Structure 1
Amino acid sequence: MDILPLCLLIVSCCLLVWYLVERNRRKTRPMPEGLNTDRVIPTEQPWELYHNNLSLCSKKIRVCLAELKIPYKAHHIDLIETGSYQNISREFLKVNPAALVPVLIHNGHPIYESHAQLQYAAEHSATPAALVPADPDKKRLMEYWVTKGSLIGDDPLAALEASAGNTIPGLTLPLFGTMIERIPVKNILEGLLFHRLKERPLGFLLFKLVGAQRFHHIPPIRKAIQQSRDALNIHLDELEAVLAQSEGPWITGKQFTLADVGMMVIFERLLEADWIKEFLTERRPQIGRYWASLQTRPSYQSAIAEFDHPTISRGLDRLQTIKRHYPAFNQAITADPAC
């Protein structure tokens, strides 16, 4: 009797059982936004934050906490871009079954979704009015730009006109392509097995197989980058007009608000993904001054600059090298989508 087929069958059955058991342990589900008092997370401090150094929303809540002078214990959770799918580990799913960062914890109870975290932190700080204007009109303007700076929906590319935040994933694709080069394939495959949004690990696997200097040849990727760029130009033209009307230095005028927190991290992403020169042009002098002012905030240094990650730095260096040595790459991602 040939034993090889039997061994293969046994191994296959064992792998299938392992996968079914592990999938059951790693079930993900949407979580209600805001404070969840029915969930208790073990903590050591009144405020704790599960975050990622690259994550746009994580940057946002770190800046908010810094502005409000709220001390917290930080827990860095890797996403695949920074090394592994720690966000779909059994341990992290106990913190957030939705497998998303950031998660803000206050007195053991989690607050989900970054826009709710910003509002909650502002309301529960020692200075609740620090980031929220008292004037109703300015508060409405702030809320409008908080939404403008947010990521809306599971597929931001499907609604680029909804917010400036929705344009950022598409514009970050070139950086993702270079960051993923050093990530082992087995780490990406974990996402295919357990991530609820399969198109994301599939995209990263494609980046890995094609190579960062060549993935712009793939029409859907090139189109996503170009459309995101064009949509952000529209949002920034609107911001330029708002800053001129408010007379700055901030979106609502003299007070730095939650709206500026959101825009700070968007401009930071443009910097780290090598887009900043594309958008900060002479026709947007207000935004040029605005970005310079944002970088002078102590929160920019303590919540963004000090949270660098080697994968991000290596990815940016690699991206800039590709742009220098492969002119067609840069031309492809900045061309008109119709070309």
Structure 2
Amino acid sequence: MQLYHHPFSLDSQKVRLALEEKGVDYTSFHVNPVTGKNMDSSFFRMNSSAKLPVFKNGSHIIFDTIEIILYIERIAVVTVGNNGIAFSSEEVIEWMHKIQEWNPKYFTLSHIPNKYRLFVSKFIRKVVIARMAESPDLASAYHCKLREAYETEEKLKNPDVVSRSKEHLVKLLDEVETKLNETTYLVGEEFTMADVMFIPVLARLVLLDLEDEYINSRPNIAEYWGLVQQRPSYKKVIGKYFNGWRKRKTLMKTCAHSCSASGFGR
């Protein structure tokens, strides 16, 4: 089993948390979208959407985050055994879909300084054009990604797009805050795949230095956030890259790679 992912990818974090929580072994392949590695023809042929993560088990390839997590559950029952492992309930799956409905793309990009965001956007467009020239048989698919990059920049100029994303997030957080009045975790007293889906959302807010506004202002979520950070899966999947000084190290390493590649025309 192979997972193509990256620490920056929110959906990748969800899948990796599920793999760690279920104790399923896999081979890890880092594909950095900020440096355009997801546009390399080898990856693009496998997934022309260029989105992460991609889960591959033999000839079976899955792109949808929730489908991957439910597939991991089935694998865990077979390979790890039935002791303490159960399939997600309808309520858990309902929460998984509810969390996944929030798209962090425009919210995240709106909180990145323009000069950095535009630099990366321009760099990615250069990568797409270069890969298009290298693999003319994929030209139409690459052209779609190029058009998507321009459309993203246009949408970010529309305040309504960002406002709707923020409103959706606030509604989700408020609903979780109310739910955590009754339970320790999202669905009862046991950690579930619903929590696996939600933890990266909170981690993204912390990464953007928005913890006070969105997490600490909600006491139940703040307590929940402190609790889930103690889990070994969190420490391995997210904390390893973004806790304390590690956040700057992770971001600076990627920034340096992009600047170097751009400067040398590579």
Query: Normalising to structure 2: TM-score of the pair?
Result: 0.76
Letter of the aligned partner of 2:227 in structure 1?
S
**Offset at 1:313?**
2.9
CA distance in 1, matches of 2:115, 2:240: 22
**Structure 1 residues 184 and 292, CA gap change in structure 2 (3 angstroms):** closer
CA distance in 1, matches of 2:49, 2:191: 31
CA distance in 2, matches of 1:48, 1:143: 24
- 2:21 is the alignment partner of 1:67: yes
- 2:35 is the alignment partner of 1:83: yes
Match of 2:258 in 1: none
CA distance in 2, matches of 1:103, 1:176: 29
CA distance in 2, matches of 1:183, 1:100: 16
Paired residues, what number?
234
Indicate which of 214, 220, 237 corresponds to 1:279: 214
Structure 1 unaligned spans of 5+: 1-46, 134-138, 151-162, 208-217, 318-339
- 2:203 is the alignment partner of 1:268: yes
Letter of the aligned partner of 1:171 in structure 2?
F
**Structure 1 residues 191 and 276, CA gap change in structure 2 (3 angstroms):** farther
The correspondence of residues 213-224 of structure 1 with structure 2, limited to 5 A, is 219-220=157-158, 222-224=159-161
SS state of the match for residue 175, structure 1? coil
**Offset at 1:197?**
4.2
CA distance in 2, matches of 1:172, 1:48: 28
The correspondence of residues 1-339 of structure 1 with structure 2, limited to 5 A, is 47-79=1-33, 82-84=34-36, 86-125=37-76, 126-127=80-81, 130=85, 132-133=87-88, 139-150=89-100, 163=101, 165-166=102-103, 168-173=104-109, 174-175=111-112, 177=114, 179-180=116-117, 183=120, 185-191=122-128, 194-202=142-150, 219-220=157-158, 222-245=159-182, 247-248=183-184, 250-282=185-217, 284-307=218-241, 313-314=251-252
Letter of the aligned partner of 1:300 in structure 2?
Y
SS state of the match for residue 50, structure 1? strand
Contact kept? 2:38, 2:44, Cα under 8 Å: yes
**Structure 1 residues 143 and 177, CA gap change in structure 2 (3 angstroms):** farther
Structure of greater Rg: 1
CA distance in 2, matches of 1:114, 1:176: 28
**Superimposed CA distance per residue, residues 97-126 of structure 1 (whole angstroms, 9 cap, x where no aligned partner):** 332221112235322211100000011111
Match of 1:42 in 2: none
Which of the two has greater helix per residue?
2
Letter of the aligned partner of 1:260 in structure 2?
D
SS state of the match for residue 144, structure 2? coil
Contact kept? 1:179, 1:314, Cα under 8 Å: no
Identity of aligned residues (%): 24
CA distance in 2, matches of 1:98, 1:182: 22
RMSD: 3.0
**Superimposed CA distance per residue, residues 306-338 of structure 1 (whole angstroms, 9 cap, x where no aligned partner):** 2457686349x9xxxxxxxxxxxxxxxxxxxxx
**Structure 1 residues 314 and 200, CA gap change in structure 2 (3 angstroms):** farther
CA distance in 1, matches of 2:44, 2:145: 15
Contact kept? 1:132, 1:257, Cα under 8 Å: no
**Structure 1 residues 112 and 204, CA gap change in structure 2 (3 angstroms):** closer
**Offset at 1:52?**
2.1
SS state of the match for residue 180, structure 2? helix
CA distance in 1, matches of 2:249, 2:107: 17
Structure 2 unaligned spans of 5+: 133-141, 256-266
**Offset at 1:293?**
1.2
